[in-house]
Amino acid sequence: MSHPSPLAYVLDEAAGKQRMLLSEPGRYLLSAGMAGALIAAVLVVSLKLGQVFFAAGAPGYYIATAGFFGVALVSIIVCKVELFTSNVMYFTVGRLGGRCRSCNLLRSWALVYLGNLLGVLLFVAVLSGAGGMGELPPQHLLFNVVAHKVHAPALEIFWKGVLCNWVICLAVWVPMRLSSEAARLIVIMLLVFVFFFSGFEHSIANMAFFALARMQGMAGLGWGDILHNLAPATLGNIVGGAIGVGLVVFRLERHTLQGV
C-alpha cells in the first residue's frame, strides 16, 4: 500500500485542523495553549543550560541554548498540538489546494496565536508561583537576549521573522520525506538549531522570552518594547511560512496529487 505524498498529507492535516476549528473551537484553543506552554517550558531549561556557560564566559554558550530548544518542536509535532508558525504553512497549503477556506485560515491563525499566548502566560504564571527562575543577576542570559530583541530595528526583526519561519516550516516539511524516526528527530533538532542559533525571530518563542523577562522584573522592558518586536516578527513569520514554504512546496509538489 503506497503512502500519500507529503503534500497530500499536509492537505489532509489542514482539512482536519479546519474541521476541529469549526466543530470544537475550545479543543482547538486548548491544543494551541499546550503548544505555547511547551515552548515556554523548554525555553526555561534552554536558558538555564546556556546560563551555565554564559556565566563562565564560555564563547559557545548559545550553542547549548540553541541545541536544546529543538525539544520544543519535536514535542509539538509528536503531540500534534497547534503552533502558530507551522499552522501558517498548513493552512496556506490547505487554501491553495482548495481544502480550506480563506476565512477559516484567518480564524485559525488568530485562534492559535491567542492560544499560544495564553499557554505561555499560564505556564509563566505557574512558574512564578513556584518561585520563578530564582534571583537572576542583571547580566543574566535572559536579559541579554531580550535586550537585543527589543532594540533591533523593526525591518531587521521582520526579515529575521521571515527567515525563522522559513526554517521552522522546513523543519516540519523535510522530515515528512524521511522514513527513519531517528533521522526525522535529528533533522528537526538541527533545523531548529539553525533558527535559534542564528538569532532569527520566532513570535511565540519571543512571547515566552518577554513573559519570563517581565516575571523576573527586567528593568526598562515596557509593553511598547514588546510590541516593537512581536508585530514585525509575527508578520515575518507569516510571510516565511505562507510564501517561503507553503506556496513554494505547493507549486513544487502539486504534481504528486491525484487528478492534478
Residue 3 to residue 26: CA distance in whole angstroms? 32
Residue 178 to residue 7: CA distance in whole angstroms? 14
The answer to whether the CB of 90 falls within 8 A of the CB of 10 is yes
Ordered per-residue pLDDT tens for the chain, 260 residues: 456 799 999 999 999 999 999 999 999 999 999 999 999 999 999 999 999 999 999 888 999 999 999 999 999 999 999 999 999 999 999 999 999 999 999 999 999 999 999 999 999 999 999 999 999 999 999 999 999 999 999 999 999 999 999 999 999 999 999 999 999 999 999 999 999 999 999 999 999 999 999 999 999 999 999 999 999 999 999 999 999 999 999 999 999 887 55
CATH number of 6-256: 1.20.1080.10
Question: Can you read off the three cell numbers belonging to residue 167?
Answer: 526554517
Residue 40 to residue 3: CA distance in whole angstroms? 35
In Å, how far are 30, 31, 172, 186 from 190, measured between CA atoms? 28, 25, 12, 6
List the chain domain ranges: 6-256
Residue 55 to residue 174: CA distance in whole angstroms? 36
Q: Look up the pTM and report it.
A: 0.95
| 3-class secondary-structure state, position 211 | helix
Q: What are phi and psi of 174, to 5 degrees?
A: -60, -45
| 3-class secondary-structure state, position 66 | helix
